Amino acid sequence: MKFIFCALALIAQIASAGLQKYSSLVVADANPTATVPPNAIRVTYLGVNGFQFEAGGHVLLVDPYFTRVGLWSAALNQPIQSDANRVGEGLRHVRPRADALLVTHAHFDHLLDAPEIMRRTYARLVAGPTEIRLVESFGISPNKCQIVEQGSVRKVGRWTIRAFATQHDRLFGKVPFDQCPPAPREREKPPVKASDWCVGEPLAFVIEAAGKRIYIDSGGVPGAPPDPRIKDVDLAILGVALPDSRERFGEAVRQLRPRYILPSHQDDMFGPVDHGFVFGKMTNFPALLSQSRNLPGRLVLLDYFQPWTLR
Where does this chain bind Zn ion (CB under 5 A)? 107
Q: Which is nearer to Zn ion, 93 or 107 (CB)?
A: 107
Closest contact distance (angstroms) between CB of 212 and Zn ion is: 26
Closest contact distance (angstroms) between CB of 137 and Zn ion is: 19
Q: Which is nearer to Zn ion, 116 or 201 (CB)?
A: 201
Q: Are 259 and 303 in contact (CB under 8 A)?
A: no
In Å, how far from its chain's centre is CA 298?
A: 20
Q: Which is nearer to Zn ion, 161 or 198 (CB)?
A: 198
Closest contact distance (angstroms) between CB of 107 and Zn ion is: 3
Closest contact distance (angstroms) between CB of 205 and Zn ion is: 15
Q: Which amino acid is at 200?
A: G
Closest contact distance (angstroms) between CB of 304 and Zn ion is: 20
Phi, psi of 141 (to 5 degrees): -70, 140
* Per-residue burial over 154-177, b = 16 or more CB atoms within 10 Å of its CB, e = otherwise: bebbbbebbbbebbbbbbeeebbb
Q: Are 207 and 53 in contact (CB under 8 A)?
A: yes
Q: Which is nearer to Zn ion, 36 or 269 (CB)?
A: 269
Q: Which is nearer to Zn ion, 149 or 232 (CB)?
A: 149
CA distances to 38, 53, 123, 158, 260 from 56, rounded to whole Å, are 7, 10, 17, 7, 21
Closest contact distance (angstroms) between CB of 171 and Zn ion is: 9
Q: Are 55 and 42 in contact (CB under 8 A)?
A: yes
Q: Which is nearer to Zn ion, 58 or 107 (CB)?
A: 107
Q: Are 197 and 108 in contact (CB under 8 A)?
A: yes
Closest contact distance (angstroms) between CB of 182 and Zn ion is: 21
> Which residue of the chain is nearest Zn ion when measured via CB?
107
Q: Which is nearer to Zn ion, 42 or 107 (CB)?
A: 107
- CA distance from start to end of the chain: 43
Q: Are 239 and 219 in contact (CB under 8 A)?
A: yes
Give one DSSP letter per residue of 170-199, joined into a string: PBTTB-TT--PPPPPSSPPPPP-BGGGS--
How many CB atoms are closer than 10 A to CB 71?
A: 17
Q: Are 207 and 158 in contact (CB under 8 A)?
A: no
Q: Are 280 and 260 in contact (CB under 8 A)?
A: no
Q: Which is nearer to Zn ion, 75 or 156 (CB)?
A: 75
Closest contact distance (angstroms) between CB of 70 and Zn ion is: 17
Closest contact distance (angstroms) between CB of 105 and Zn ion is: 6
Q: Which is nearer to Zn ion, 176 or 307 (CB)?
A: 176
